[in-house]
Chains A and B, each alone.
Chain A
Amino acid sequence: MTALNEEHVRLGARMVEFAGWEMPIQYSSIMKEHMAVRGSAGIFDVSHMGQLFLTGDGVETLVDRAFTNTFKRRKPGAMEYTHMLDEEGRIIDDMIGTWLDEETFFVVPNAATTETVKEWLGGLAAGAGSVTFQHDPSRFCIAVQGPSSEGILETALDIDLSGLKFFRLLTAEIGGGTCFVSRSGYTGENGFEVYGPAEQATTVWNRVLEKGSPEGMVPVGLGARDTLRLEKCFLLSGQDFHNDRTPLEADHEWVIEWDHDFVGKEALERQKEAGGYRRWSAVLMADRGVPRPGCEVVIPAHDRSPVGRPIGEVTSGTVSPVLNKGIAMAYLDEDRSAPGTTVEIEIRKKGYTSSVVEKPFVKQG
């Protein structure tokens, strides 16, 4: 369990097991928590995410080889979202990394894949030179997200965030411990993530919640974390890919820096050249409905082509609290993945009219 387990229980959270962690799925209601983040602010315990610190003279080479994106060692605190691929170009995990200073690289893999990522990087490090891994699972990460999050966090932690740009990280002394604060998150709203040692977890959590509550901030569980990221079309590791899809299929070519050599590059080049692969696309249902992972996407009834032919598969879906309609992310045949295409999602053997739309489902503001 995380350092904040007692706080969750005190707040009446419904707890679930997730990747070996006991995590809050919801405190009050997924809908209310979701709308609080879109309208004012929410606070999340995401301490289950891994926090790896890499040091040694081989780190720069390792990082360059392991990730699709590139990281500027001489620009500490600049964060990048990246994919980590196997030799076939399939995504092992997605994560955010940053050089904390010229010596230390900090990377945050997903909870269920942290050990895999550690092992994979360890394997690659063997050919890169000296690399030391530090991983303390007791460390906390608290996300503070939403339009009111900046003011709340500044007051609660007595910190100036006005100079902190998007996807930048700073180091701050909070409650007697060294913490990192970054402008980042998984909700698509202006927001922050605070990382630090377990001892500071409850101090940060309670200070922020105390300052935020009068402004409508609520604690938010994994349930709303999922609906929030889905409205913004963010990938979920283990669900939208599990070492079976490439960044090209996931429609994430923007995380690939083609002008460096990384594991999986040749496979991606071949795939890009050949084309004809399914693309991860946003599908909006005409009505309410809950598309679940595994639901088939098929050719709609009015189409001249063979009706009912499968053209894709849903990997994530929910009812969007903002749009009040069913939304799904699905890998669709290339020729059916363009926004504007009409498709049907099959739920319990019934076809529901839907259309491929531009990502994300919910735009800013």
Chain B
Amino acid sequence: MDQTQKSYEYDEVITFTQSGGQMDSTLKQLQTHLKELRNLVNECEPLYHGKGTTSPIYNQYKTLYANIGNPNQGLWNQVYGAVQLQNQIYNNAQNDKRKDQQGY
């Protein structure tokens, strides 16, 4: 099938969403920064903290960790959603390309 018969520019979408593509690089960068933030908060705690779990400082650290959370909460939960979305769009574009090439 030649270029003019493409239903849309799926090759651009594939390049944009593939491993190492622009969207992937953005999400990778975000994940790297989240990991670095977790390390920094981890390093900050022994330098500055209150006594026990009732101190206001403890509660602020608790909220920070909740938001850089785990796969079920906070930013990591959204990162997981974004990763799934990227995979879905990439696969849809690949399927559309395949259909066009097969003449569906």
* A and B are partners in one complex rather than unrelated chains: no
What is A's interface to B at a CB cutoff of 8 Å?
none
What is B's interface to A at a CB cutoff of 8 Å?
none
